[in-house]
Amino acid sequence: VKKTDVVRAILADRQHLLPCNTEAEAYASSNIALCKYWGKRNTELNLPMTSSFSISLGNFGSNIRLSVNENVADTACINDQLLDWQSSFGKRLREFLNLFRITPTLGFHADIHTNIPIGAGLASSACGFASLVQALDRLFGWELSLLELSILARLGSGSASRSLWQGFVEWHAGTQADGMDSYAEVCTDVWPDLCIGLLILSDTEKKISSRVAMQRTVATSPFYTAWPETVRHDLSAIKQAVREKDFLLLGKTAESNALSMHATMLSSWPPVLYALPGTVTAMQKIWELRQAGLMVFFTQDAGPNLKLLFLAKDKAHMKTHFPNMPIIQPFINE
C-alpha cells in the first residue's frame, strides 16, 4: 500500500479534485506525547507499533496560508524566509504536496508561520502537517472528517495525526495494513490546572532525525521488544490519571515512559543520545525539587529540551526556579 492509495481512497467520493478556493488558512497547535510513539510497523505510511497519548500546546504551533500558485512551481516561506526545497523539511513538504497534485500544472504557495524551532524536538512537523492538511481541506473544499484528516496528517508525520485537536488526544495504532484504523481521537477529559513548561536548552536542529532514530531503534535495540508492553501499561495508567485527575500518577508515568523510550535509543547501534549536558543537569534539578516536595515531572522527545509537568498551584514557585520558561495551560484560553 502506497501513500497515494490512501489519499485516493479517502478522496474517492469527493467532488472537488481541483481547488475550489484560491486561498485557505489553518492553525494547528503542537503536541507532546505523555505516552510516546517510538517505532513504526510500516515506514511508508507512518504506521506505529503502539498507540500513543498527547497533550496539545495551545498557542505554540504553526499557521499556514495555502494558495494556488499561478506560476506552476511550488513556493513556500517559513517565517518570511524562502524555503529551500533541498532541506529535509523542504523534501518532506514537496513529497506531501505531490500527493494532492491532481494535475501536474497545479502549483502551491505555502506561507508558514511558526513560533517553535524546527527540528529541535518540539514537534514542529506535528503542527506543520496538521495545519497543512486542514488548509488543503479548505482550499479544495473536501470537508473531510477529523478522522480522515488525522489519517492524511499521519502520512506527513506520525505525530501530526494527534495535532488536529486541543487537549488530550489518543492515536490508536490500528492493525490494518492500509492504516485506515490508525488515526487519533480527542479525549473529552479536561484538566484546567495542568501546566506544561517548555524548558528550551538548545534550539539548534538535531543531527539525527526522529525518523532515522526510530528506525534504528527498532532494527538494533535489544530492549525494543520490551517497549510495546511498557506502552500498554503506561497508556492505561495515563488514561486513568487523566480520568481521576491523579497528577502524581500522570507525572510519574509520563517521565518514566520518556526515559524508557530514551533507554531504547541508547541501546541502539550506532547509539542515539538526544540529551546534552544541560539536559542532564536539568533532570537532576527536577529530581532535587521533587525530593524537596515540589511536584514537577519532565518528559523529553527527540531533542535535548525538556517539557515540565506541574499544577497551577505551583506556577509561581516554578517561575522562581525556571525564570524564562514559557508556561502553557492547555485548557485555559489565553
Which residues bind to ligand 2P0, rule: CB under 6 A?
33, 36-38, 46, 52, 125, 157-159, 210-211, 301-302
- Closest approach of ligand 2P0 to the CB of residue 296, in Å: 20
Q: How far is the CB of 129 from ligand 2P0 (least distance, A)?
A: 8
Mark out the alpha helices in 157-303 (DSSP H runs): 210-220, 227-244, 247-266, 277-291
Question: What residues contact 60, with CB distance under 8 A and at least 6 apart?
Answer: 29, 30, 115, 116, 122, 127, 198, 326, 328
Provide the 8-state DSSP code for 224.
Answer: G
Closer Cβ to ligand 2P0, 214 or 289, answer by number: 214
Tell me whether residue 243 is exposed, middle or buried, using C-beta atoms within 10 angstroms of its C-beta: 0 to 12, 13 to 18, 19 or more: exposed
Residue nearest to ligand 2P0 (CB): 158
Q: Which is nearer to ligand 2P0, 24 or 136 (CB)?
A: 136
Q: Give the integer Cα–Cα distance in Å for 302 and 121.
A: 5
How far apart are alpha carbons 307 and 297 in whole angstroms? Answer: 8
Q: How far is the CB of 115 from ligand 2P0 (least distance, A)?
A: 18
Nearest residue (CB) to ligand 2P0, 36 versus 138: 36
In whole angstroms, the minimum distance from the beta carbon of 324 to ligand 2P0 comes to: 24
The minimum distance between CB 284 and ligand 2P0, in angstroms, equals 22
- Determine the residue type at 101: R
Instruction: Give least dist CB 10 to ligand 2P0, A.
Output: 18
Nearer to ligand 2P0, 67 or 264 (CB): 264
User: Per the structure block, which three cell numbers stand in for 232?
Assistant: 500498554
Q: Nearer to ligand 2P0 by C-beta: 67 or 257?
A: 257
Nearer to ligand 2P0, 67 or 268 (CB): 268
Helix (H) / strand (E) element for 225: namely: none
